[in-house]
Amino acid sequence: MPAQLIDGKALSAALREQVAQEVAALAAQHKPVKLVAILVGDNPAAQVYAENQKRTCAQVGIAYELHNLPAATTREQLHGAIRRLNADAGVTGIFLHSPLPNGLDLQDAQYQIDILKDVEGVNPANIGHVVYGHTIIAPCTALAVVELIDSTGVALEGANVTVVGASRIVGRPLSLLLTERNATVTLCHIHTKDTPAETRRADIVVVAAGKPGLLRAEHVKAGAVVIDVGINRVRITDAFGKVTEKTVGDVDFEEVAKVASWITPVPGGVGPMTVAMLLRNTVRAAKLVHGLEQPFAGHV
Ligand code: NAD
């Protein structure tokens, strides 16, 4: 039987609706939600992302401001700009666009972001809180993957989950969130001796490697849940020699869908859910900044 599709677009739309209601409720209490994004230089992909961000925030009622800094911005100037936003009571969320121009270190800058305003969950302190099971704000894509798995109704507790890709922003924080949910996690990377053996025995496979077609049907156990984080632009030549560009994931979707029980499409899976998680984190940050939620609620 073919896999059921995990519709990230529909799930994301429902979450955005919830976010819009929460933002409206906060506004009614005179607790505005304001996200400020910093973009250093003129990277075209970051500019497109910022445009989308502006539109998405407007749709759910979040005030959005983009601070465009010149490519020649120094470390001190960038850190100063972040610290001013940290100190500004009217700013409830801070987002730093990447990549940064040469000479500026992303992690070094992320370290400056107030952990309560860190809507991407990228300050090392926030990652540290995830390690200890006291999540304040976690990275959006990792959260998106957990949310998509939960939407299937398949239990994480006791499940064998193999994550392919151990990046700082996706695979590693995801492995922590899954461990916190009592899954048994295997984290594979380029040096893993036999990644197919690890994916074949998994109840849930998450692929975040940035390699189109990496996960094939023979790498997946029948009935497994498959989450495809990859976003790759590939060139396709049709029978008439016409070349077009297409966005694909890391999973051979057509073939894997024949053996999996659930599968995410690309586009329309993890991507829209990541955006929804950013919005949800932005509301969470605003509640923390306004003192409506406590960083350690539920753990003390
Ligand atoms: P990265 O390049 O930082 O890390 C890739 C990881 O995959 C590394 O740990 C590497 O060792 C591992 N890897 C690569 N080839 C492998 C192989 N053949 N076998 C086993 N492991 C292998 O990548 P990233 O930033 O984590 O992004 C991964 C993919 O996810 C990219 O396609 C990216 O565009 C996508 N992505 C999507 C979203 C989203 O919102 N949907 C967010 C972030 C990243």
Query: Closest by alpha carbon to 135, among 251, 249, 2, 297?
Result: 297
Residue nearest to atom 31 of ligand 1 (CA): 210
Name the token pair of 106. Answer: 């992303």
**Predicted local distance difference test score (pLDDT) of residue 299:** 44
Separation CA 215–CA 251 (nearest Å): 5
How many whole angstroms from 165 Cα to the centroid of ligand 1? 5
pLDDT digits (tens, 9 = 90+) for 26-40: 999 999 999 999 999
Would the CB of 289 count as within 6 Å of ligand 1?
no
> pTM of whole model > 0.75?
yes
pLDDT above 60 for 161: yes
Atom of ligand 1 nearest to the CA of 249: 32
User: Ligand 1, from 107, 122, 145, 167: best to mutate by most atoms within 8 Å of Cβ?
Assistant: 167
Burial 177-212 (b: 16+ CB within 10 A, else e): bbbbbebebbbbeeeeeebbebbeebbbbbbbbeeb
Would the CB of 275 count as within 6 Å of ligand 1?
no
pLDDT digits (tens, 9 = 90+) for 78-105: 999 999 999 999 999 999 999 999 999 9
Atom of ligand 1 nearest to the CA of 232: 32
Separation CA 15–CA 275 (nearest Å): 10
pLDDT digits (tens, 9 = 90+) for 243-271: 999 999 999 999 999 999 999 999 999 99
pLDDT above 60 for 187: yes
pLDDT digits (tens, 9 = 90+) for 224-250: 999 999 999 999 999 999 999 999 999
Residue nearest to atom 6 of ligand 1 (CA): 165
